[in-house]
Amino acid sequence: EIVLTQSPGTLSLSPGERATLSCRASQSVSSIYLAWYQQKPGQAPRLLIYGASSRATGIPDRFSGSGSGADFTLTISRLEPEDFAVYYCQQHGHSPWTFGQGTKVEIK
Amino acid sequence: QVQLVQSGAEVTKPGASVKVSCKASGYTFTNYYIHWVRQAPGQGLEWIGVIDPRGGSTVYAQKWQGRVTMTRDTSTSTVYMELSSLRSDDTAVFYCARAAAVSCFDPWGQGTLVTVSS
């Protein structure tokens, strides 16, 4: 099983600041099989990034993904009020599909 | 538009079973897999398993084998997940999500809260 470790657990930032979230895999993951999701309280997760760096439909360009091998990053260039949420990375290339434990981006 | 609509919240007792449904619309039902994901209160996302609506084949996470059964009804474009031998720590929100083969999950259903309590 591929274990995904996200860091930090919580990120306290102000609107307008840059957020950098990390996702590290226990073994190499092909970039095409790495996705990021956003989840707000009481809502289902929403796909943000697929293929490590491609934005899903309707996702603003302040969200960007990068990385390869075992290290991946989600960057939010300038935080908007609606971006404060929990973010999960996922690998979907090897069964069992696995998620990171999540990074909470909270208002400072 | 593509949509997955899940059945409503359930309250059930320890030892019982529960069956949650996920009705798909807006696309060809048999062209995409349906995955199920669990989220315990205040916790992260845990993959349970997947069903191929075309033939009904399933793959379950090892942890859930023996307790989960996924089925589908192509006439109504609905997938079902049944969990048996429920325990209080099974209390969680269960999501269904669509995926192409070896693809990410998009979209997700709205979630179904299953509460296990005596």
Distance (Å) from the C-alpha of residue B62 to the closest C-alpha of chain A?
8
| 3-state class (DSSP) for residue A82 | helix
pLDDT bracket for residue B57 (50, 70, 90):
very high
Nearest-angstrom CA–CA distance, B78 and B25? 9
Instruction: Map residue B3 onto helix, strand or coil.
Output: strand
B59 and A33 within 8 Å at the Cβ level: the answer is no
Whether residue A81 is predicted with pLDDT greater than 90 in this model: the reply is yes
Q: Give the number of A-B residue pairs with CB atoms closer than 8 Å.
A: 53
**Residue B18 to chain A, least CA–CA distance (Å):** 20
pLDDT > 90? residue B101 = no
Sorted by sequence, the CB contacts under 8 Å of residue A76 that are 6+ apart come out as A18, A19, A21, A62, A63, A83, A105
Please say if the pLDDT value at position A60 is more than 80.
yes
| pLDDT of A11 | 97
Distance from CA of B110 to the nearest CA of A (A): 6
CB contact under 8 A, A93 and B107: no
pLDDT greater than 80 at residue B10: yes
Cβ-Cβ contacts under 8 Å, A59 against chain B: none
Is the pLDDT reported for residue B100 higher than 80? yes
Contact state of B105 with A90 under an 8 Å Cβ cutoff: yes
Q: How many helices (H) and strands (E) does chain B have?
A: 0, 10
Q: Are B37 and B95 in contact (CB under 8 A)?
A: yes
CB contact under 8 A, B105 and A44: no
Q: How far apart are CA A46 and CA A75, in angstroms?
A: 16
B91 pLDDT band, cuts 50/70/90, is very high
Pick the closest to residue B25 from B37, B38, B34 (CA basis): B34
| Separation of alpha carbons B17 and A76, rounded Å | 42
**Mean pLDDT of chain A, nearest integer:** 97
Token reading at B82: 């049944």
Query: Residue A96 phi/psi, 5° resolution?
Result: -75, 140
pLDDT for the residue B24? 98
The pLDDT of residue B102 is above 80: no
Q: Do B47 and A47 touch (CB under 8 A)?
A: no
